[in-house]
Chain A
Amino acid sequence: MTKMQIIAKATLTFFGVSAIVNLCHNISMLPSLTQNASILRVILFLPIFIILLIAIVYLLILKNDWLAHKMAGSGEELNPESEALWLVGSFRMVAIFYGLILLSSSIPTILNIVVSPLHIRPMISEIFTFRTFPKSLIFTPSQWSSMIYNFLKAMLSVYLLYGWPQFIRFQLNIRKTKSSLNQNRYTEGIENE
């Protein structure tokens, strides 16, 4: 891969992750938007979101090599060591940039998660003493969906700021298997000749 192709690949991944977060935001708003709507409309909406989600994950995150090749064109190929460095570096930069953007809107959620043990204890004692479910835990579907979305967004921001290690390792392994396959084909070709 060339330097430009790696940068294009990282940029595509950034677009993919941000599209997933935006799509999940729309899905989390679905219960509040369809409060008075029939269940049929929700059933019609959900598959569209899921198909879009799968398409984004597949085309922009997992199999974006062909798009990166088209965007950046051909050029001087990097040696494996510097290719790994460029790949890790560019993915990590994308992760940190998007992690910081997500963190700016996730600080209240993270604070709520940190102070939640202080709220859970009196609730548990209320359940055992009065044998009633605490009213503060009764949420509407739209509240639940926004809470789940905010929680997942906060977790994603922390994971991205941690450096996105599993995803980067996965991408490096894909590159390694591809390059070893190419090498095998090349040696087989020489032997046949």
Chain B
Amino acid sequence: MNKMHTLTKIILSAIGILFTIRLLSQLPFAIYWFYSKPAWETAGSLLLSLLLTAGIVAVLLYIFVYKRESLAKKIVGSEQLPEPDSQIQWLPVALRLICIAGGFYFLSTVLRQTTYVIGQLAFFEAHTYANANYKVIYTYAPFNYRSLLPWIIMLICGIYLVCGAPHFVRWQVKKTLQLCKQQSEMKKVR
């Protein structure tokens, strides 16, 4: 196990803990709907939001804290890095870690929006049963394509980034090395 593996493991644990905190911090919003209108609908939405959050937190903790060693090996590649390549090899590893962190940022934002929409729908449903006038006041349509499309794109981007965004990382590394090469060639010409 070299320095890069240890560093990757630490960063992976940090990502897991950070996003667990970010996901747990949205629970008060899920509770808010039930608190403001206690009914079966809002209770159901609260339960669903709690289950979704708990499921994702469990997956996060399992992958990033319990199974972080195998993930670190996958991200870094070979266990013993040859010394001359180590200057270049840290770049894709770091970019991949950034992509994973970005992907979880995307996914946690999608989850927050999902729990918000579920809570809001349940809240309006509970109100419409209580008072028919609410149907007129709240003509809320969260399931049309215009409001759903950005979240679907975000979900797809999030999944791609969590997988390590291989094409994007390869392209960025290629561009970085090209830029460095250009600079060193310009220096030689001068």
B153 within 8 A of A: yes
Contacts of A82 in B (CB 8 A): 87
Contacts of A103 in B (CB 8 A): 157
* 8 Å CB interface, B90-129 against A: 90-91, 94-95, 98-99, 101-102, 105-106, 109
Contacts of A165 in B (CB 8 A): 175, 179
In the complex with contacts A100-B102, A100-B161, A163-B175, A84-B183 CB distance below 8 A = yes
Complex Cα distance, B79 from A111, in Å, reads 43
Cβ of B27 to closest chain A Cβ, rounded Å: 21
Contacts of B183 in A (CB 8 A): 84, 172, 176
Question: Binary interface profile of A, 83-107, with partner B (CB < 8 Å = 1, else 0)?
Answer: 0110011001100110011011001
- From B88, which residue of chain A is reached at the shortest CB distance? A85
Could you say which of B98, B99, B105, B106 has the most chain A C-beta atoms within 10 Å of its C-beta?
A: B98
Contacts of A107 in B (CB 8 A): 150, 153-154, 157
On chain A, which size bracket covers the interface?
A: 20 to 34
B180 within 8 A of A: yes
State how many residues of chain B have any CB contact under 8 Å with chain A: 27
Complex Cα distance, B106 from A96, in Å, reads 14
Question: Binary interface profile of A, 140-175, with partner B (CB < 8 Å = 1, else 0)?
Answer: 000000000000000000000001010011001000
In the complex with contacts A93-B94, A176-B187, A108-B179 CB distance below 8 A = no
B184 within 8 A of A: yes
* 8 Å CB interface, A111-163 against B: 111, 163
Among the listed B101, B153, B175, B179, which residue makes an inter-chain contact with A111, where contact means beta carbons less than 8 Å apart? B153
B105 & A169 in contact (Cβ 8 Å cutoff): no
A interface secondary structure, majority: helix
B176 within 8 A of A: yes
Cβ of A163 to closest chain B Cβ, rounded Å: 5
Cβ of A129 to closest chain B Cβ, rounded Å: 27
A88 & B98 in contact (Cβ 8 Å cutoff): no
Complex Cα distance, B157 from A82, in Å, reads 33
Question: Binary interface profile of B, 155-190, with partner A (CB < 8 Å = 1, else 0)?
Answer: 001000100000000001001100110011001000
Complex Cα distance, B157 from A106, in Å, reads 13
Complex Cα distance, B105 from A82, in Å, reads 31
Complex Cα distance, B7 from A36, in Å, reads 54
B179 & A96 in contact (Cβ 8 Å cutoff): no
A188 within 8 A of B: no
Contacts of B149 in A (CB 8 A): 111
A193 within 8 A of B: no
B180 & A96 in contact (Cβ 8 Å cutoff): no
The 7 A-B pairs of least Cβ separation, nearest first, read A100-B102, A107-B150, A108-B150, A89-B91, A97-B98, A85-B180, A88-B176
10 residue pairs of the A-B complex, CB under 8 angstroms, read A84-B180, A85-B88, A92-B95, A96-B95, A97-B102, A100-B105, A104-B109, A107-B150, A163-B172, A168-B179
